[in-house]
Amino acid sequence: MSQPDRYAVIGNPIAHSKSPEIHARFAQQTGQNLVYERLLAPLDGFERTVRDFIAAGARGANVTVPFKLEAHALATELSVRAQAAGAVNTLRFSDDVIFGDNTDGVGLVTDIVRNAGVALHGKRVLLLGAGGAARGVMLPLLDEKPAELVIANRTVAKAAELAREFSPPHGRVHACGFGEPEGRFDVIINATSSAIAGDMPPLAPELFGPGTLAYEMMYGREATPFMRFAAQAGAATRDGLGMLVEQAAEAFLVWRGVRPDTAPVYAALRASL
């Protein structure tokens, strides 16, 4: 049997990453001959780590915090969604080409539309935060043609800058502070890091209702403050574990040309939390 193709997730820190487990399950399911490892890159040594990995015969890599901007700069070719995101979480190596892609947004949209069964087309969507996580999902969200996409952020100027960048031709995008959105939204996505601090953006409960999906990009065993607040206001809630699995499946497709079945992998990860 031929040597397995090599892949890895590169980050700092990296020990917590579930990507090796996810891709091992994908490879077993699809019959792909590959190995997938964790690579801890020094904070000042991302490019060297990637080039050494390529020299060792690697075929691709996932990139996580804090190297997504450096991966974008290192890529010699970029997908449309990576260009829009300004960041790269998936690298594919072939000949002298380093192809950079960003699968975060499509992972989020797939989890909401297919797995949660919530349409985004023609709906009011509120995106909380205007940092890298928000930017990375803007284009795939707008590709679903929501009636309106509102970006709320603590610093309104940063939200306004993001809204200007993605306004027509992409769609109707508005910016405001956390306390300013009005009316009920169909989908509210928390792209801030508030869950890490055990906090949440200051939102009015009237933004949520029985028809609202409150989506937390973070995931864990317990509901986050954002999810608890939304549930008290009558909304359905979902964390970002499905997004993690779906973005990994999209990366697997970029590398191997086959899309794995995500449902059993999601179920296994959920059970292990």
Burial state string for 115-149 with b = 16 or more CB within 10 A and e = fewer than 16: beebebeebbbbbbbbebbbbbbbbbbbbbebebb
The predicted structure's pLDDT at residue 143 = 95
Catalytic residue numbers? Answer: 68
The predicted structure's pLDDT at residue 170 = 62
- Please tell me the class of the 105-239 domain: alpha beta
- The H-or-E segment that residue 161 falls in is helix 156-166
The predicted structure's pLDDT at residue 169 = 67
> Which residues are known binding-site members for NADP(+)?
129-133, 153-158, 217, 240
Q: Which two tokens stand for residue 250?
A: 């999209």
For the chain, counts of helices (H) and of strands (E): 10, 12
Domain spans, the chain:
5-102+242-272, 105-239
The predicted structure's pLDDT at residue 267 = 98
> Which residues are known binding-site members?
17-19, 64, 89, 104, 129-133, 153-158, 217, 219, 240, 247
The predicted structure's pLDDT at residue 196 = 87
Cα–Cα distance between 5 and 257 in angstroms, integer?
14
Say what the pTM is: 0.96
Which of these, 70, 18, 19, 17, lies nearest to 255 by C-alpha position? Answer: 19
The predicted structure's pLDDT at residue 172 = 85
The predicted structure's pLDDT at residue 99 = 98
> Which residues are known binding-site members for shikimate?
17-19, 64, 89, 104, 219, 247
**Best CATH choice for the domain 5-102+242-272 from the list 3.40.50.1000, 3.60.21.10, 3.10.20.30, 3.40.50.10860:** 3.40.50.10860
**Domains 5-102+242-272 and 105-239 fall in the same CATH topology:** yes
Q: What is the pLDDT along the chain (273 residues), one digit of tens a residue?
A: 689 999 999 999 999 999 999 999 999 999 999 999 999 999 999 999 999 999 999 999 999 999 999 999 999 999 999 999 999 999 999 999 999 999 999 999 999 999 999 999 999 999 999 999 999 999 999 999 999 999 999 999 999 999 999 987 666 899 999 999 999 999 999 999 999 889 999 999 999 999 999 999 999 999 999 999 999 999 999 999 999 999 999 999 999 999 999 999 999 999 999
